[in-house]
Amino acid sequence: METEWLYGLAGGLMIGCAAALFLLVNGRIMGASGLLGGLVDGSGRRNGVERLSFLAGLVLVPAVFVLASGGSETHLTGNLGLVIIAGLAVGLGTRLANGCTSGHGVCGISRLSYRGVAATGLYLLAGAITVGVVRHLLGVS
């Protein structure tokens, strides 16, 4: 358990290097919701192949590593109603806000973008309040 922060730091550095690679080589912001959302609503059709390639790597490469390591778990709740509400909120919210944890959080904060810092502060606050209400007021864990 004491080594978990090391995995966090190592994984975080990999995420940052991926974002740096995508910026310096392809000239693009590595934002998961934007790359997917542009394909979903058609606004990103112009560079669709680049988007699809990124998403293919995002899905397939971890699949290989997880398989080789003997599997992994997301520990996602089994309450599918909750999962659907959360999915709808995350999809709609990230598109309205033009970014999520990767775009606003990683790429925005590192550039000291006012919008990125504000968005990150807001979704962290909303997330913390949601967990607080669900876990400690409603008693669901």
Partner 1 sequence: MRPVFAFLAGGLFGVGLWVSGMTDTRKVLGWLDVFGDWDPTLAFVLGGAILPMTLAWSASSRRAPVLGGAFPARPEAELDRGLIAGSVLFGFGWGLVGLCPGPAMASLSFGGIGGLVFLMAMIGGMLGAPPVRRALDTAVPVA
Stretch 57-96 residues interacting with partner 1 (CB under 8 A)? 57-63, 65-67, 71-78, 80, 82-96
Distance from CA of residue 123 to its chain's centroid?
12
CB of 45 to partner 1, least distance (A): 14
Binder to partner 1 among 2, 46, 68, 114 (CB under 8 A)? 114
> What percent of the residues of the chain are helix, what percent strand, and what percent coil, each to the nearest 5?
75, 0, 25
CB of 38 to partner 1, least distance (A): 9
120 touches 104 (CB < 8 A):
yes
Q: Is the dihedral of CA 76, 105, 29, 19 positive or negative?
A: negative
Give yes or no for residue 110 binding partner 1 (CB under 8 A). yes
Binders in 24-53 for partner 1, by CB under 8 A: 24-30, 32-33, 36-37, 40-41, 47, 49-53
Q: Which tokens belong to 137?
A: 């007021």
